[in-house]
Structure 1
């Protein structure tokens, strides 16, 4: 029997299958990937560095849809805002991957390159080096939390007569459609306002 023209297994197929599993159930296992691809579990390990290696392939796949060119824009705050919106959109497409990716260290080279560009953007804008990572982590928390919120039900509070909450009911009734988008705009505006103030204060004390 001749060899198949298309390989049964490669890193791209493994990543695609793992991402489908995560989208379906929020998790994956190497045996599950092997069963989906119709191969032996040991064959998968010939192409990837175990489970951790697959997690990093997933991180690269999801992060590949973030536009890194946004970080080349100016001024710095507009560039950071554009990156945050692109980042949110990428992870909103795969919200069930967020808990998986947020609980393992970042090792994927292409993802680290994006962080390098974001750090460079802030350093070049005049931020102190000690301020850079707290800012980026805070922005990432906002972005990923909002991406999860986009996947949540529109109505997240179910009021009952057992716990009278008239003011909460009034506040909920006043919320327009698209509460996740609205909340993201509030958070992003607050973040950028803080970042601008921090940069101004740093420049004044320099």
Structure 2
């Protein structure tokens, strides 16, 4: 029997199939055995490419976070945070089922450490004390991860009759634009309010640091 001209498995093919499985079935739906079945191979074949499931998930985390942009700090700390937060949310929102893993122990992954280093440096270079820079980075992450994990608007029924009478104040709230637009605009509202507050705080911090 002729051997295939290209290998049945590659690390990229494994990662693509694993991410699709997580998107479809959730983190708990991924196992090396099920992934192997999806790829049409034996589970043992996967271990020639990846030592553990955690190694696979770390690869997926790096793939998803590769699109996060921390370059905006060259234009100022506010622009840097805005670009970072928006690209971070977009990356996570594309794969919400992976977010719990992405949020777990980020300091152990080189990709996450590079982002954290760029954000911290962008903030301290703009005059934020290191403690504030750390808290701002953490606060932005809380905002982004919370926004990416679930759809707030998606939890409401589309049928207005569900709300009329019993929940009169909600009878119009869900009739805004589509769910994705509500979620995006809600994130932008929270991000703008957060940044406006930081701008006022930054003035105070810089002023107090002057001799």
TM-score interval (norm. to shorter):
0.7 to 0.9
For the pair 1:179 / 2:205, whether they are aligned, the reply is: no
Q: 1:20 to 1:190 in 2, by over 3 A?
A: same
Residue correspondence of structure 1 range 16-95 to structure 2 within 5 A: 16-27=16-27, 28-71=30-73, 73-95=74-96
After TM superposition, the structure 1 stretch with the greater mean CA deviation from structure 2, 18-27 or 89-98, is 89-98
Is residue 145 of structure 1 aligned with residue 149 of structure 2?
Answer: no
Deviation, structure 1 residue 141: 2.0
1:195 aligned partner: 198
Query: Deviation at 1:77?
Result: 0.4
The within-5 A match list for 1:151-166 is: 153=154, 155=156, 159=163, 164-166=166-168
Question: Per-residue deviation at 1:200?
Answer: 2.0
Gap regions ≥5 residues in structure 2: none
The answer on whether the counterparts of 1:56 and 1:107 sit within 8 Å (CA) in structure 2 is no
Q: Structure 1 pair 167/37, CA: closer, same or farther in 2 (3 Å)? A: closer
**Higher alpha-carbon deviation: 110-119 or 141-150:** 141-150
Q: Does the CA-based 8 Å contact 2:70-2:115 persist in structure 1?
A: yes
Q: Which moved more, 1:46-55 or 1:19-28?
A: 46-55
1:112-131 alignment runs, 5 A limit:
112-131=113-132
1:94-105 aligned within 5 A:
94-105=95-106
Residue by residue over 1:13-36, the C-alpha shift from the partner in whole angstroms, topping out at 9 and shown as x without a partner, is 221111011110112111111111
Q: 1:169-191, CA deviations, whole angstroms, 9 ceiling, x for partnerless residues?
A: 46x26855522122111110111
Say which structure, 1 or 2, has more relative contact order (CA 8 Å, 6+ apart).
1
Classify 1:100/1:133 alpha carbon distance in 2 versus 1 (closer, same or farther; 3 Å): same
Question: Does the residue aligned with 2:75 lie in a helix, a strand or coil?
Answer: coil
Partner Cα distance (1:200, 1:49) in 2:
50
> After superposition, what is the alpha-carbon deviation per residue over 1:112-167, rounded to whole angstroms, capped at 9, x for unaligned?
21221111111111111112222112212222222334586273695375xx3333
Gaps of 5+ in 1: none
User: Given that residues 70 and 80 in structure 1 are in contact (C-alpha distance below 8 angstroms), is that contact kept between their aligned partners in structure 2?
Assistant: yes
| TM-score under structure 1 length normalisation | 0.84
Report the number of matched residues: 202
TM-score, normalization: structure 2?
A: 0.82
Q: 2: distance between equivalents of 1:48 and 1:195? A: 43
